[in-house]
Structure 1
Amino acid sequence: MSDEREVLDVLTTNARESTADIAAQTGLDEAAVEEAIASLERRGVVHGYQAVVDWDRVEEERVRAIVELNVELDRETGYEEIADRIAKFPAVEALHLVSGDYDFAAEVAGASMQDVSGFVSEQVAPIPEITQTVTHYVMETYKDGGVRFGDRDEDDRLSVSP
């Protein structure tokens, strides 16, 4: 495994690790870790560092949805161009070209269900190449960014035994 890959493995688990801690975990020296991180950032392999947030524990309401999008391409327009237009919206947290019944899967966030549905109907659906949208609201998140969320409210239903 390359030095950069080892550093990436540690960063994807916990991006707050110090270079000294990453060096200890990988067996590299700190200078090699710093150079690997700088190289990964410079080449656009690492685009940023973010906290993984359990939004269900935040008091302010925040609604997330997965929006499936079908598009119809023409000779002048490709997936990249459509993706560039959709990805520019701040409400779009992630956008993926996918296989299957739909072309794109967008992760969208808003203050309410009305906010998300308004965004989809007023901003996304009118894009000429988009032929269909299907919105799935996220009801509960159990794992995000590779992190499993625990300590949910205990199931207080009584167990029934025959």
Structure 2
Amino acid sequence: MQGGFSLESKEREILQLIEENARIAVDTLAKMVDLSIEETQAIIQKLEDQKVILGYSAVIDWTKVKTTETVTAMIDVKVTPKRGVGFDDVAERIYRFPEVRALYLMSGAYDLSVVIEGKTMNEIARFVSDKLSTIDSVISTTTHFQLKKYKHDGVVFSDGEEDRRIVITP
């Protein structure tokens, strides 16, 4: 059961194909799953209505768009869960900040993993000190700055240019 209902195999196939390429044409998708265009569109609409498909996004290499460079940080957060609501209450307070791109409940040494974006490292530091650390349930934070992206959502980030120098060893 996924979200209170089970998914048919055709629905799973469609989801996997859309996840791999959200821009796939419906007629191409229909051929790939051996359904009519109308049946395929109906399944997609149903999955959107049921909030199985939450949105469509592109993976962009922002380093190639020089004027929009941002800093991404992953922040490990230890919190004290609240009685009756666990981590959900503090998680909701955190994900409402516009800087927060993603938020996950984690197992291990810390409780929440927060991914944020800012224009500078100082902007992220101010977010942590002024907004995140001031939440009552937050015990501690550890901030990790993303230095280079190699792979994201299954997409490898490279220019396709390999180092063609000859390796010389003594």
Give the TM-score of the pair, scaled to structure 1.
0.92
Instruction: Count residues in correspondence.
Output: 162
Give the deviation of 1:154 after TM superposition. Answer: 4.9
Give CA-to-partner distance per residue, 1:38-78, whole Å, 9 cap, x none.
11111111111111111222212200011111001232552
1:125 aligns with 2:133: yes
Q: CA deviation at 1:143?
A: 0.9
Contact 2:73 2:115 in 1 (8 A): yes
Using a 3 Å threshold, how does the CA distance of structure 1 residues 116 and 19 change in structure 2: closer, same or farther?
A: same
Give 5+ residue unaligned stretches, structure 2: 1-7
Segments ≥4 residues shifted beyond 3 Å: 152-158
Amino acid corresponding to residue 87 of structure 1 in structure 2: Y
Return the letter of the residue paired with 1:127: I
- CA deviations on 1:15-59 (whole Å, 9 max, x unpaired) are 011110111222221112111111111111111111111122221
Q: 2:77 aligns with which of 54, 69, 72?
A: 69
**What SS is found at the alignment partner of 2:72?**
strand
CA contact 1:65–1:108 (8 Å) conserved in 2: yes
User: How has the CA–CA distance of structure 1 residues 158 and 90 changed in structure 2, closer, same or farther, with 3 Å as cutoff?
Assistant: farther
Pick one of 17, 34, 37 that aligns with 1:30. Answer: 37
Correspondence list, 1:1-162, <5 A: 2-59=9-66, 60-75=68-83, 77-151=85-159, 154-155=162-163, 159-162=167-170
Q: 3-state SS of the aligned residue for 1:35?
A: helix
Q: Which moved more, 1:56-65 or 1:9-18?
A: 56-65
Name 2:3's counterpart in structure 1.
none
Structure 1, gaps ≥5 residues long: none
Q: Distance in 2 between matches of 1:78 and 1:108?
A: 23
- Separation in 2, partners of 1:135, 1:155: 33
Q: Which has the higher contact order (CA 8 A, sep 6+)?
A: 1
Q: Which amino acid aligns with 1:141?
A: K
**Counterpart amino acid of residue 83 in structure 1:** A
Q: Structure 1 residues 70, 52: closer, same or farther in 2, change over 3 A?
A: same
Q: Partners in 2 of 1:147 and 1:131 — Cα distance?
A: 35
TM-score, scaled to structure 2:
0.88
Contact map agreement 2:82 2:89 (CA 8 A) in 1? no
Alignment CA distance shift 1:18-1:133 (3 Å): same
Q: Note the aligned Cα RMSD (angstroms).
A: 1.8
What percent of counterpart residues are identical? 36
The one-letter code matched in structure 2 to 1:61 is: E
TM-fit CA distance, 1:117: 1.2
